[in-house]
Amino acid sequence: MWYDHLLIAGQVIGALLVIGGFLWFFVNLYLKIEQIGKDTSISKEERSIIMDGLLACLLGLAQHGCNGPVKEGIDKISQFLNKQAHR
């Protein structure tokens, strides 16, 4: 009967919508992952600049005679930067 064709058409349209939904989901997931990768590279550069600035501040304090935690901070940052350079 005519409603059998209508049911089959509805099932086909429904299946196509489900497949399209999955494709849309995975394309958006890929685009989000790609954007996160770009944001991470920017974040690494920002953190590197902040680390260099912090080290410069600590070295300036050390030149003015500050000891104790300043020297420890310089040593820790220097060791960290050396480890990162050899990775």
* pLDDT score of 80: 87
Which parts of the chain sit beneath pLDDT 50? none
Question: Whole-model pTM above 0.75?
Answer: no
Which residues are within 8 A (CB) of 51 and not within 5 positions of it... i.e. 6 or more apart?
Answer: 77, 80, 81
Q: How many domains does the chain have?
A: 1
Task: Give the range of the structural domain holding residue 39, as residue numbers without chain letter.
Answer: 2-85
What is the per-residue burial (b if ≥16 Cβ within 10 Å, else e) of 11-20? Answer: eeeeeeeeee
